[in-house]
Amino acid sequence: MTAPAIETRELRKNYGDVRALSGLDLTVDRGEFFGLLGPNGAGKTTFINTLVGLVHKDSGTAEVFGFDVEDDYREARDRIGLAPQEFNVDRFFPIIEVLEHKAGYHGIDSEEARRRAEDALKTVGIWEKRDTRFNWLSGGMKRRFVLARALVSDPDLLILDEPTAGVDVQLRHDLWDIINRMNDEGTTILLTTHYIEEAERLCDRVAIMDSGRKVEVAAPDELMARGTDTIDLGLADPPRTAPRLDVEGVTEVAVTDGGLSVTAAGGSQTAPALMRELERTGHTVTSLDIRRASLEEVFVDLTRDDREYAEVSA
Amino acid sequence: MNRNTTQFLTLVRREILRFVRRPYNTFLPPIITNTLYFAVFGVILGSRIGEIAGVSYLQFVLPGLVVLGAISDSFENASFTIFHGRWNDYIQAVLTSPMSNRSMVTAYVSASALRGIVTSLLIVGVGLVFTPVPVANPLYLVAFLLIITTLFGGLGVIGGLWATDFDYLTVMNQFILRPLVFFGAVFYSLEVLPPLWRNVSLLNPMVYMVNGVRYGMIGVTEIDPNTSLAVLTGVTAVVLAIDFLLFKRGYGLAE
């Protein structure tokens, strides 16, 4: 059987009294575009650094394409390209040489390393800056360069830790195009981001992490379907107080200027029954608008629930 | 060339380029410093001292200055490159690569040893301006220089991993290494010391290094060179083993 791109079981890591990872179980399939969402301190970067050897786990297992990240670290790391959140770039050399060195560390001979370095710089659009040192690049170019460095070893697993943090819209879309192309060509992508729209747009599946563990994992659409939608109803004769609506799925009813705002799980399934109930109680519905729950709302709900659970457990 | 060799040579090349491209920081200081040593200690003071162990004072101090330059620069190179890489996190590009821990350590130590040897040659070059430089036992000279620079490259790795600020590097180089070398019979013969201080000096490992290189250059030593070489080789092996272990455990490198 083919091993998944990433598989962790009961992965734990503590920093003193702080639990960074508390029994994380996660599987990322080969070729998948996988998002990792979570508030600051959720354990996302610790998880990534465990995969590449910058963090030593306390217990549990972590494998990359079937290779244990500690026992078979050379095989595991050879398959990973990492674009970290922080700029950890060698400032002594022009950027093209930094890329050649990185390729060389992966065992790629000098001629091929040069070719790959050139390709990577062209791919991310900073070829003309090849003889410049990292310090002298603009913020956006630095972000592009970090991606180029992750690409230069032609990884099977590309890990991107907040790749579009602080970049403008145009660059964000450029980076999305590059990452999508890599994924289309078969590279597994692990993306952490604070931009929910990014996860919604790019990822096949997302895991929501909080307090060092996985809270939920599903396709963005599935997660959004689990959220509560908002149904805005226009009424010919708006009531002064919210009526009691005996409809399955409805969680909250509020009076608005021209009608009602109803919160319900699965808005499109609930709407017909809702309209029938309103007409049965003497109201005339003049308009209807369903606003789907965004992934951001689901994310906030899930992480809030998890914190409440953690507080109660404690 | 196999992948392991390519990985190793890439890191060695990177390390060599780092110091070769900054000669004002790496090679010019030992040239200036040693020119001053030769001018003051050799020419001005040396003319009043006369011969020691059958050679001029300049020729007597030259091996000691070679050792001082070699160990300072090999130690400084390894400790700086490791610490600076940690300080700015760019050492992570190496650490997250598929290189073996041993290969990383060997590359850092080899490049640092090479820098120490280049510095030695520069000091000899400066010495040639002031006096003929004899090479009485070339094999011993090469062996001692190789083992000394490797040993201090290895110690520099430990220093670079241990340091948490630039002050640590200064403390190690200026307050530990230099005093040991200065009291390691660089500028004087052990014979001129009272018996007590002569015996105390024998506890200083630098004495064995200085005497070994002196034997290689002028053929005179106060300590058996084979014993010195054997002890230094053993100590170097221990230091490298510690380097490997520290990298494996991620000391100063991984959380």
What ipTM is given for this predicted complex?
Answer: 0.85
Given strand A285-291, what is the order of strands in its sheet? A250-255, A259-265, A228-235, A285-291
Structure tokens at A314: 């404690």
- Judge whether B89 is closer than 8 Å to chain A, CB to CB: yes
Residues in B 14-33 with any Cβ partner in A closer than 8 A = 14, 17-18, 21
Q: Which of B80, B67, B231, B81 is nearest to B148 (CA)?
A: B67
Average pLDDT over every residue of A295-314: 60
> Residue A86 is part of a domain; what is its CATH number?
3.40.50.300
Question: Within a domain: residue A299?
Answer: no
**Contact across the interface for B255 and A93, Cβ inside 8 Å:** no
My answer on whether A146 and A161 are in the same domain is: yes
My answer on whether A42 and A104 are in the same domain is: yes
Share of chain B above pLDDT 90, in %: 53
Residues in A 138-197 with any Cβ partner in B closer than 8 A = 149
Chain B partners within 8 Å of A57 (Cβ)? none
| Selected residue of A45, A82, A92 to mutate for chain B interface (largest B Cβ count, 10 A) | A92
**Contact across the interface for B3 and A53, Cβ inside 8 Å:** no
Interval A127-179: pLDDT, tens: 999 999 999 998 888 988 999 999 999 999 999 998 887 777 888 888 888 89
Count of domains observed in chain A: 2
My answer on whether A103 and A31 are in the same domain is: yes
Question: Within a domain: residue A74?
Answer: yes
- Judge whether B170 is closer than 8 Å to chain A, CB to CB: no
User: Which has more confidence, A105 or B222?
Assistant: A105
CA distance B241 to chain A (A): 20
Question: Within a domain: residue A313?
Answer: no
Closest-CA residue in chain A for B86? A88
My answer on whether A232 and A195 are in the same domain is: no
Structure tokens at B1: 């060339």
Nearest neighbour of B98 by CB, restricted to A77, A84, A113: A77
The confidence score (pLDDT) of residue A305 equals 58
CA distance B244 to chain A (A): 15
CA distance A221 to chain B (A): 34
Interval A216-256: pLDDT, tens: 787 877 777 676 778 888 888 888 888 887 888 788 888 88
Q: Which amino acid is at A31?
A: G
Structure tokens at A221: 């659409």
Query: Which pLDDT band, with edges at 50, 70 and 90, does B114 fall under?
Result: very high
Q: Which of A237, A280, A235 is nearest to A262 (CA)?
A: A235
Chain B partners within 8 Å of A80 (Cβ)? 96
My answer on whether A192 and A272 are in the same domain is: no
My answer on whether A106 and A235 are in the same domain is: no
Query: What are the distances in angstroms from CA A171 to CA A177, A178, A267?
Result: 10, 11, 35
My answer on whether A87 and A19 are in the same domain is: yes
Query: What are the distances in angstroms from CA B240 to CA A233, B168, B204?
Result: 76, 21, 20
Structure tokens at A85: 């959140």
**Contact across the interface for B94 and A86, Cβ inside 8 Å:** no
Residue A10 domain boundaries:
6-223
Q: Which of B15, B17, B168 is nearest to B87 (CA)?
A: B168
pTM, two decimal places: 0.83
My answer on whether A155 and A96 are in the same domain is: yes
Judge whether B148 and B70 are in contact, CB under 8 Å: yes
CA–CA dist A274, A77 (Å, integer): 55
| Selected residue of A50, A71, A90 to mutate for chain B interface (largest B Cβ count, 10 A) | A90
Question: Within a domain: residue A203?
Answer: yes
Number of residues written out for chain B: 255
What are the residues whose beta carbons fall under 8 Å from the beta carbon of A275, sequence distance 6 or more?
Answer: A233, A285, A288
Please state, as a whole number, how many other Cβ atoms lie within 10 Å of the Cβ of residue B85. Answer: 21
